[in-house]
Each structure stands twice: as C-alpha cells, then as structure tokens.
Structure 1
Amino acid sequence: MAGGGFVSDNGGRNYEGGVTGFVIITCVVAAMGGLLFGYDLGISGGVTSMEEFLTKFFPEVERQMHKSIHETAYCKFDNQLLQLFTSSLYLAALAASFFAAMITRSKGRKVSMFIGGLAFLAGALINAFAVNVAMLIIGRLLLGVGVGFANQSTPVYLSEMAPAKIRGALNMGFQMAITIGILVANLINYGTSKMAQHGWRVSLGLAAVPAIVMVIGSFFLPDTPNSMLERGKYEEAREMLQKVRGTTNVDEEFQDLCDAVEAAKKVEHPWKNIMQRRYRPQAVFCFLIPFFQQITGINVIMFYAPVLFKTLGFKDDASLMSAVITGIVNMLSTLVSIGVADRFGRRVLFLEGGIQMITCQFLVGSFIGWKFGFQGAGTLTPVTADFILAFICIYVAGFAWSWGPLGWLVPSEICPLEIRPAGQAMNVSVNMFFTFVIGQFFLTLLCHMKFFLFYFFGIMVIIMTIFIYVFLPETKGVPIEEMGKVWRQHWYWSRFVPDDAVIGAGHGDDNIKNA
C-alpha cells in the first residue's frame, strides 16, 4: 500500500515502522525529567520531619512536637510557614508553565527541558546552602520553575516521539521516573536522618543530581518531528521520523504530521482557541484530570508521609522507613501500568484504580478515627499501625497504576497539535495549583477535619471515577494526530466536535476506512 498505513481495530491509522532502540533510548532519557518532580515530591516531607531542620528554621513547630500534652495529635505540624516551604514550589511551577508553553512551541521541546533542568539545579544549590527561611523559599521557587518547564515539555515530547501502539508505555516512563525520584528521596532522607549534623542539607542538595541529568540529557536529545515541522525544518523532520520509526517508508505519517502542522499554523492564539466549542472535550479533560489527580489525596502521602506517620505515633525511624515502603510500592505499581496501559486501555485502569483508592481511603480514615477519635489523644498499637500502613500502600498502588501515570498520559495525547502546548500548559498549571493547595493546607485541614479528611478524599475519588466511566472514551492505540475521531464517535462529545476535527492527513472518515 502506497502510504504504508492501515487502520487499527479502534479506527486509528497504524503507520509502517517498528519500535526502534533509538526511540526507546531517547524517550528514556527524556523521561528522566520526571526525576526532578519525583525527587522534590519525596524529599520535602522527610526534611520537614527532621528535628535539626525544624530547630533551625521552624522552632515553634519543634517546640510543639516536644510538648508533653498536645491539644490534639492531629495538630502537631500545623504551621503555615512550614507548609509554605513545601507548597511554594508548586506556585512557581504554575506560573512557569505558561512561559514554558510558549517556549515549547517556538523553540522546541528540548529547549524547555534544558531551561527546566538549569532552574532546578540553581534551586537545589540555594536550598543546600540556605541560612534562613527566605533562602529556602527562593530555592523552592527556582525548583518550581524547573518543575513547571519539565512537566510541560516532557510528556509532550514523549507522546510525539512514541509510536501509537506503545505511546502509553513510553509516556508512562515519565511517571516511572517520578516514582523512582520519590523512592530515592525517601531512601536519602532515611540515610541523612542518621547524620549528626546537616543531614537536611545533603537531602536538599542532592536534588542537583537529577537536575544535572536533565541539563546534560537535553543537549543530546533530538527534537521531535512535530516540533521541527512547527519551525519549518521539513527535511530534518522527515529524516528524524525515518530514524525513530526505523524505516524510510514514512510518507503517510509524515504527510499527516505536515497537515497537522499547517492546520496548527493557522491558529495564532492557542489559549484562545482551546476554549472554542470544537475543543470542549480537550479543555474539560486537561482541566479536570489534573484536578481529580490531586484531589485523590495522593500528595498527602507523597509530601507528608513521614510527617503523617509521626502524627499517627510512628517513631522517627519508623516514619521514614514507612515512607520508603510506600515509595517502593509506588514504583513497582507504576511498572504494572507501563505493562498494561496499551494492552487493556486507559479506562480500565482509571476505574479499577478508583475503586481501590475509594476503599482504602475509607478504611484508613476509619482506623484513625477508631484509635484517635475527635480529640486525637489515642495511640497506635503495632498491629493497628501495620494495618494503616498496609492500606496506605494498597491505596498508593491503586493510584500508581491508574491516576498517577494516566494523569500525564491522557492530556498529552488527546490535544491536536494546534492546541497541544496550551492543553499541556493547562494540565500542568491546574496540577500545580491544586498541588500547591494540598501542600499548603493539608496539615491545617488535618488539624480541623481530623480523620474525616480521609473520608472527604474518598468521596472525591467516587465522583471522579463516575466521571471517567461516563465521559472518557478509550484512546489506546489511536495515532495522536487522529484523536479527533475518538470524540466524534462519543455519545456526548460528538455534539461539540465538527466533522472536520479529524486532522490526520486531511482525509475524511471514508478515506481512512479504505486506506
């Protein structure tokens, strides 16, 4: 067949070419950007539970921890300035994501990765040498700029480089790198907590390592064919497409990409256009998926695991080791999603993970309520502590093979090229805003809502699981430039999406079916 393309079972075009070692290595290096985000997610909770760190920067919290009689155990760490240390990063990431969207489109994906790595490196060094809270916050803000750029560009890069049939697995490499970063951070915190002095400086300073990996990696990464075409580099784009697909017969896919780029060039204001009626499903999911991802309560565990476990009565070593255990579960469960997302689809993982998280949130809340009640004056027996840790691990597993990786994959693959940077910027900015909200107010909410806070998160997971069941169509195996077909065939979204929404190759549906 002339173009080298054929139609998959779900109506999407499959192009000629296999999975090359080049594209896998490229995507693995790019996914290391997730290490930046993951290391930060894991490091802050352990550092804020270290007494030396609290004594130096937050003495009020340290004194409260050692009071013989607490008003309530739920309120041990309730301090807005302490929470700002964690959450300020995500406010900076929110602002940076808008600038990252413009640079990603005009200068290419790898330039955004380089800027992100450089900003993260500067923030890590400032934090490591901090002598006051102001330096801590400045360092965290620079880390946030790095996270904003990396999270905006890396998922888009992975989705554009990967063949449609393994796009889910390769894109989830980003989430896999996040989980590795979280686990490494937890292990480092456990080790540095044994140091006589300056363990917190080592923990914060080692954030420079993934930043250096990102900066160096961005020099060697090629840009995506889509990005090259956006900047008028047609011959380079064709050669890169041939290289990543492992075949010279890329005419049909290349033509589809060219048509998509030409359509995208007619769009001068992607932020304005993503709000058009025809892009309603993309706008809804690019907003609601990151919102729901954060409202699961996962970052309660990722940010504050050691703090949470200490609040519940775990000793210092036990709280840090419990965080390590959840980090291991998180990483291994993400491997599951990489293996099954392109086999069973996105919807199955979303729904199964949702049911698993709902169950665990209510069980954890009930165990805490049983032992601590409203006054927070109880204690945990070893058996009860083990039960709570076990259900938190099951909850983390459910998130790690569903809402964790899919929260980055689905928004990055559903947007056509003309609104893709805006869609990803919306995804990142919403994610960062609600990450900031959770980071800034969780300990305060825990103080006031007590164990009912876990019931609240459980109810939110029920709502978002129902939403996915009703409104999300299956996107596995659909070439990224033909995603418009998915919305045209959906019972609800078809009323918003016009017939010309299928961008790939400029073919109508009938031509695609006869390809």
Structure 2
Amino acid sequence: MPAGGFVTQGGKEYPGKLTPYVLVTCIVGSMGGLIFGYDIGISGGVTSMPDFLSSFFPSVYEKQTADKSTNQYCKFDSATLTLFTSSLYLAALLASLVASTVTRKFGRKLSMLFGGVLFCAGAIINALAQNVAMLIVGRILLGFGIGFANQSVPLYLSEMAPYKYRGSLNIGFQLSITIGILIANVLNYFFAKIHDWGWRLSLGGAMVPAIIIGIGSLILPDTPNSLIERGKRDEAITKLRRVRGVDDVEEEFNDLVAASEASKKVEHPWRNLLEKKYRPHLTMAIMIPFFQQLTGINVIMFYAPVLFKTIGFKDDNSLMSAVITGGVNVLATLVSIYGVDKWGRRFLFLEGGVQMFICQIAVAICIGVKFGVSGNVTNLPQWYAIVVVLFICIYVSAFAWSWGPLGWLVPSEIFPLEIRSAAQSINVSVNMFFTFVIAQIFLTMLCHLKFGLFLFFAFFVLVMSVFIYLFLPETKGVPIEEMSIVWKNHWFWGKYIPDEDLPHAGANLEMGKTKNGLGGTKSVY
C-alpha cells in the first residue's frame, strides 16, 4: 500500500443513479469553464499578433522587427505586456474572496450569473480598447468574472453529481476550460489574418462564453446542499429526489441537514479554517493550486504562440502549433473523465507527474542544444521544431488528465459544508495568485533562465508528485459528507481529526481498519 493511500468505497452508499436531468444540468453548469479557458487561450495569441503589438506595445514590436538576430529568449520581455495577461488573475483573486460570501448566502447560481455579467463587460471594453489603460480595465473585469465562476462552478458540480460519478461530472468543468482554450486558439489563427482589427474580434469573442454562463445560471436548478443551507428544506428534498432519480433519499437528506446544522454553528468560517481538525483541508486548498501553477502549464497555454515564435516558428505556424496543443488538451481531458472514477485520483496525479517531468527535461535539452545560452539562432530546422512540439503535446496531455482537472476536482470534494465556500475561496485565490505571478514573470524568467526555465518547472513537478504520494488519500467513490473518514484513516492526517467529527462515529471507523505499515490505517470497506 503506497504512502497515504488506501482503498475505500465510502462509509455508506446512498441510493441514486445518473439521471438525464443531472447529466444535462452538470453539462450546462460546467460551461462556466469556457470563460476561463477562452481567456487563457486568447491572451497568448493576441500578444503575438503584430497589429496588436504595434498599437499597444510598440517597443516589443520594434524589438521583433528591428534586429532579427536578437536573443530569442528575450524578444518578448516586457513588464507591461505581461501585465496585460496577468492583471486578470490578480482581479480574480480578489473577486474569489467576495464570491465566497455570495455563494454561501445566496447560492451557487448567483455567483455564476455575476461571473458571466462581469466577464461580458470586460470583453466589450477590451474589444473597443484605444489604449493600454482600457485593456487593463477590461482585463480586471474579466478577472472578476473568472473569480466568481471558478469559485462556484466546481462546488455546484460536486454537490449536484451522485458520488459515484462525481469525478467524471466535475471534470466537465476542466473539459470546458480546454474547449475554451482550443476555440480561442482556432479563432486567433484566423483572426490574425485580418489586419489592423483582427485582435479586436479575438478579445470581443469572449462575450459568447460569458453569455452562455449567464443564461445557464438563470435556468439551472439550485443544489440540494445550497437549498438546505438557506433553509429551504422542503424544496431541497424534492430536488434531491429528482437529482438522484429515486424516492428513497431520506438518509442522504438527513446527513445533508446534519452537515448544514453543524455549519450554521460556525460563525466565522474563515477563522475556523485555522482549527486543527481542518489542517488537512487547508493544506490541500493551498498546496494543490500552488503546485498546479508550478507545473508550468500556463507557460504553455498563456504564451504558446509567443513560445513557439521564440523557438523559431513563423507567425502562422506558431498559432497553428497552439491550436494543436489545444486539441491535445481537449482529447486528453476526455481520458480523465473516463478514468478518474475508475483508476482513482492518486493514480492520475502520479502518472501525470512522471510524464510531465520527463517531457520538461526533454524540452529543456532540445532547446538548450539548439539555442544554447546566447539564444542567437534565427532558423530552426522544421524537423527539430516538430520534435519540440511533440514533447510539449505529450506534456500537455499529461497535465490534461491529471493536474488540470484534479486540481479543481479534489479541493471541491474534500471540504466539509461548514467551511466549503471559504475553503474553495482559498483554493481559487491561491490558484489565481500564482497564476498571476507566473504570468507576470514568465517572459522575464525565460530571458534570464533560458532553457533552464523548463528545468525549474520540472523540479517542482518532482516535488509535487512526492507530496501527492505521501499526503493525499484516495477520495474516489466517497460521499462528500463522509469525507472525514478518509482523513481519519490516513497515516499522517488521522491525528488531526477528532473522533466526534466522524459520521456514525464508532461503527464506520472500526469497520475494516487495518495497519498499512506506515503508522496509519487503511479502510477496506
């Protein structure tokens, strides 16, 4: 038995099935990921378009065109240019903190609606931008929209889905992100051919996913958890029966009510996050999004066209390479949807970590051999560029079926109701903060670290894989309200969880516990 691992099917099994109603609801809800994905994909393509650069960042444009022998690593290095991309994520960080209160008091749907409206406003301002200030204001509004959507959508999906299918349905959010990235890359490829104003179409196109999530939030039903949390119990049990597709939902309903009653006794969920019994949850809420950003994926997704131009591709070729990696991203996410509830979270985390580590080392070697430290290479053989793109695609596929979807799924399913909104805000805030940091400093890091930048990210992939191996238990097939048993049975976290916090305290804990050889226990029921 691996460190921190155990096999569990949960303390109990609630009756229920995957109904068409739930499937359609989760598909519509997961569309909230489109706005995040579209923005990730659109930013890098727009910042590589000559017309956009000449209008707003002339110094970067001149650096590209004046001297073809310039250091390839540094040709896009501009703090103002990276601020265009990164400002969004700082705004998303701030919005996610406000979104916690909205999500808790008024429901998940209202947070989604706010996200769509704010994102749409930002898209309009960006499309009409006349100066850098307008661009930044638009990006900030986009960030507010993403902060609300990323805070509410994963929670909505985890609460709506039957626990046996929670992983697959929740990953619909990540699938929407990858589809948004792919659509943005394809549009960038074609809009780049429209000189002078093609970039406006790319930025303004963000209105479409914003309208989709806005309309979706109006037609989606509330989750039973959210209805109970707001005192609407009769409506909640009716909704739970429809969601589960069976009438026998009293046991699950009573557990949800009990969890809600416990959550209402918590007057300060933010302060309570610091209590000893929430140490495992707080650790994961911080470390998983921290490590997710230090995989280096946003280096690829934000700046894919910029990166490909840096390693020798022409304008059209760099945008097409971004389309290819976006397609790989979508297809590999489907692998995760298939396997997450079959193979488990830990397996995908660890396999993806190994694959990403190998690919980052390979890319570093390929770029290092050709460009060296000086970076003064003007021509890259086509076959060599294809090899680099191939390794990047294998790397993207690993992220897309591991750290991409699981970075949102696992935090959203492990938090008890009483701290759920606050803890999810921590998760989103940490994610957005380090997304901001990476987006802001990447081009400067590339300029100074050269090919060593990929070794930098490879080191963190190794560290985070060890972290998952040791400290993340398997949560596959465990009902959300039974999740405390998972932590109690873990070799390290068990000491932080008091027995009285366990559901059905005595029986479930003793049922089938065995030593795992690491000073902890594993559950075999």
Asked whether the two chains share a fold, i.e. TM above 0.5, the reply is yes
Q: Deviations over 1:336-385 (max 9, x none)?
A: 00000000100000000000000000000110000000000123211110
Aligned partner letter, 2:14: Y
Cα drift, residue 73 of structure 1? 1.0
- Counterpart position of 2:461: 461
Is 2:428 aligned against 1:428? yes
- Counterpart position of 1:3: none
Provide the rounded CA distance (Å) in 1 between the counterparts of 2:192 and 2:84: 19
Aligned partner letter, 1:347: R
Provide the rounded CA distance (Å) in 2 between the counterparts of 1:26 and 1:512: 38
Is 2:489 aligned against 1:509? no
- Counterpart position of 1:61: 60
8 Å CA contact 2:8–2:476 kept in 1: the answer is: no
| Inter-CA distance 20–112: structure 2 relative to 1 (3 Å threshold) | same
Partner of 1:195, secondary structure, is coil
Partner of 1:483, secondary structure, is helix
Cα drift, residue 62 of structure 1? 0.3
Provide the rounded CA distance (Å) in 1 between the counterparts of 2:146 and 2:374: 38
Aligned partner letter, 1:182: I
- Counterpart position of 1:345: 344
Partner of 1:77, secondary structure, is coil
Provide the rounded CA distance (Å) in 2 between the counterparts of 1:303 and 1:511: 46
Alignment of 1:153-192 (within 5 A): 153-192=152-191
Alignment of 1:51-450 (within 5 A): 51-378=50-377, 379-450=379-450
Q: What TM-score do the two structures reach when normalised by structure 1?
A: 0.97
Cα drift, residue 11 of structure 1? 3.4
8 Å CA contact 1:70–1:76 kept in 2: the answer is: no
Cα drift, residue 9 of structure 1? 5.0
What is the percent sequence identity of the aligned residues?
A: 62
8 Å CA contact 1:271–1:422 kept in 2: the answer is: yes
- Counterpart position of 1:5: none
Partner of 2:53, secondary structure, is helix
Aligned partner letter, 1:480: I
Partner of 1:474, secondary structure, is coil
Is 2:495 aligned against 1:495? yes
Aligned partner letter, 2:498: P
| Inter-CA distance 510–294: structure 2 relative to 1 (3 Å threshold) | closer
Cα drift, residue 194 of structure 1? 1.1
Cα drift, residue 500 of structure 1? 2.0
| Inter-CA distance 444–80: structure 2 relative to 1 (3 Å threshold) | same
8 Å CA contact 1:361–1:457 kept in 2: the answer is: yes
Cα drift, residue 195 of structure 1? 1.0
Provide the rounded CA distance (Å) in 2 between the counterparts of 1:33 and 1:154: 6
Cα drift, residue 507 of structure 1? 5.2
Aligned partner letter, 2:381: T
Partner of 1:14, secondary structure, is coil
Provide the rounded CA distance (Å) in 1 between the counterparts of 2:241 and 2:506: 26
Q: Deviations over 1:236-275 (max 9, x none)?
A: 0000100100111100000000000001001111111111
Name which of structure 1's ranges 377-386 and 181-190 shifts more when overlaid on structure 2: 377-386
Partner of 2:13, secondary structure, is strand
Aligned partner letter, 1:185: A
Provide the rounded CA distance (Å) in 2 between the counterparts of 1:72 and 1:20: 57
8 Å CA contact 1:12–1:477 kept in 2: the answer is: no
Cα drift, residue 74 of structure 1? 0.3
Provide the rounded CA distance (Å) in 1 between the counterparts of 2:10 and 2:170: 21
Provide the rounded CA distance (Å) in 2 between the counterparts of 1:288 and 1:141: 25
Provide the rounded CA distance (Å) in 2 between the counterparts of 1:497 and 1:485: 9
Cα drift, residue 84 of structure 1? 0.2
Partner of 2:59, secondary structure, is helix
Q: What TM-score do the two structures reach when normalised by structure 2?
A: 0.95
Q: Deviations over 1:22-51 (max 9, x none)?
A: 111111101000000000000000000001
Aligned partner letter, 1:214: I
Provide the rounded CA distance (Å) in 1 between the counterparts of 2:156 and 2:73: 42
Provide the rounded CA distance (Å) in 1 between the counterparts of 2:390 and 2:233: 54
Cα drift, residue 495 of structure 1? 1.1
Aligned partner letter, 1:156: L
Is 2:20 aligned against 1:21? yes
Provide the rounded CA distance (Å) in 2 between the counterparts of 1:195 and 1:62: 18
| Inter-CA distance 452–216: structure 2 relative to 1 (3 Å threshold) | same
Provide the rounded CA distance (Å) in 2 between the counterparts of 1:219 and 1:151: 17
Provide the rounded CA distance (Å) in 2 between the counterparts of 1:285 and 1:142: 28
Provide the rounded CA distance (Å) in 1 between the counterparts of 2:453 and 2:152: 34
Q: Deviations over 1:73-92 (max 9, x none)?
A: 10000000000000000000
Provide the rounded CA distance (Å) in 1 between the counterparts of 2:257 and 2:186: 47
Structure 1: runs of 5 or more not aligned: 1-7
8 Å CA contact 2:485–2:509 kept in 1: the answer is: no
- Counterpart position of 2:470: 470
Provide the rounded CA distance (Å) in 2 between the counterparts of 1:75 and 1:221: 47
8 Å CA contact 1:485–1:501 kept in 2: the answer is: no
